[in-house]
Amino acid sequence: VSLLPKVLHWLHITYNLLPRGVHLVLGRLLTVRAAVIFLMLVPVASVLLQAILCKSLVLGTVSDVKTNAQLLKGRVDNISTLSSEIKRNRGGVAAAGIQVQMVSASLDRMRSQIRRLETSVKEANARLQILMSSWEEVDKFNAQIPELKRDLDKARALNAKVRGLQRGLENVSQLFQQQNDILQMVSQGWKYFRGNFYYSSQVTRTWYSAQQFCLSRDSHLTSVTSESEQELLYRTAGGLLYWIGLSKAGSEGYWYWVDDLLFNKVQSVKFWIPGEPNNTGNNEHCADIKMSSLQSRNDASCDKEFLFICKQPYMPSEPCQDWPPSSNFKLQCLLNSRKCGSLLHTPG
């Protein structure tokens, strides 16, 4: 655009340089002149237009380049800043890397734990399924519980009855065994009286020999500690002489029972024959039953040979262990009239 006045000016000069005749011709040919000018201006305008367009394009490009350059510079600055920050944070990054590793390890552990948990959950599910499938069975059992409780009560009542019967049976068994023990002893010549067995010998012996015999039969020459016992013995003696288990000991010569029962001197006075013990010949240190009465006792020489009476306290034998007898053994034991515990000796 700025060239246009110059071009017009140049054209004007060129026109003025033309000869006058040409000017005339040209004046006359104004139209031709205008057309010529126009035709001359067209390329000029074209050139100008291109120049203007090119300039604006170049200017736009330059502007873009500048803008891009500034952007690039800004980015470079940012990169530089970031680089310095990266350098500063390199240590932090390393620490973060370690932490990341630790976190990673923890994650691995957690994963394995999760796997284990998953396995456990699967197992639990499987068990749950089994339980669920068993639930119906449980319901059935639950439904049976009242009936089972009733049965249990019945069983308890029956059990109590059985125990009562068992106790009764044990008592019967005990009595039976006691009777059996007594029968056993009686069959061997012993007499039972108030918790003791008494055996009257058929042969005579000295006091000491008689005591030895009694000992061999788990007994002693008899003691006498009550009127009833005294009566039993003098009736058994029937007026014959029988050694009893009373003897003297020590330099003082006090009386004692050979089975270690306490000798009551005062109470015993009523059992002596009046005037006894008199220690005839200063040699009568053993006692016998002589008279068939309450006052039947006499002291005599221990070397004399008299009949004698042994006394054995009744000791219940061991109860048969499996009563009622589960085998034929115990029953046979009882029927054979033999003690379950120890065998008795038959007195001679």
Per CB under 6 A, residues contacting ligand 2F8 are 276, 278, 280, 284, 298-301, 304
Helix (H) or strand (E) holding 104: helix 90-187
Residue 304 binding: pick among Ca ion, ligand 2F8, none (C-beta 5-8 Å cut-off by kind): ligand 2F8
Dihedral pair phi/psi, residue 190, rounded to 5°? -90, 150
Stretch that binds Ca ion, among 23-31, 71-79, 161-169, 297-305 (CB under 5 A): 297-305
Residue 188 binding: pick among Ca ion, ligand 2F8, none (C-beta 5-8 Å cut-off by kind): none
Please give the residue whose beta carbon sits closest to Ca ion in the complex.
299
Sequence-distant (6+) residues with CB within 8 A of 270 are 227, 294, 295
Q: Toward ligand 2F8, which CB reaches closer, 224 or 302?
A: 302
Give the separation between CA 294 and CA 1, rounded to whole angstroms. Answer: 184
Among 242, 299, 306, 323, binds Ca ion (CB under 5 A): 299
Q: Toward Ca ion, which CB reaches closer, 195 or 275?
A: 275
Whole-number minimum distance, CB 292 to ligand 2F8, in Å?
A: 15
* DSSP codes, 175-241: HHHHHHHHHHHHHTTEEEETTEEEEE-SS-B-HHHHHHHHHHTT-EEPP--SHHHHHHHHHHHTTS-
- 181 near Ca ion (CB under 5 A): no
Please give the residue whose beta carbon sits closest to ligand 2F8 in the complex.
300
- 278 near Ca ion (CB under 5 A): yes
Total residues contacting Ca ion by CB under 5 A comes to: 5
Closest C-alpha to 198, from 212, 214, 216, 209: 214
Whole-number minimum distance, CB 306 to ligand 2F8, in Å?
A: 9
Q: Which residues bind Ca ion (CB under 5 A)?
A: 278, 280, 284, 298-299
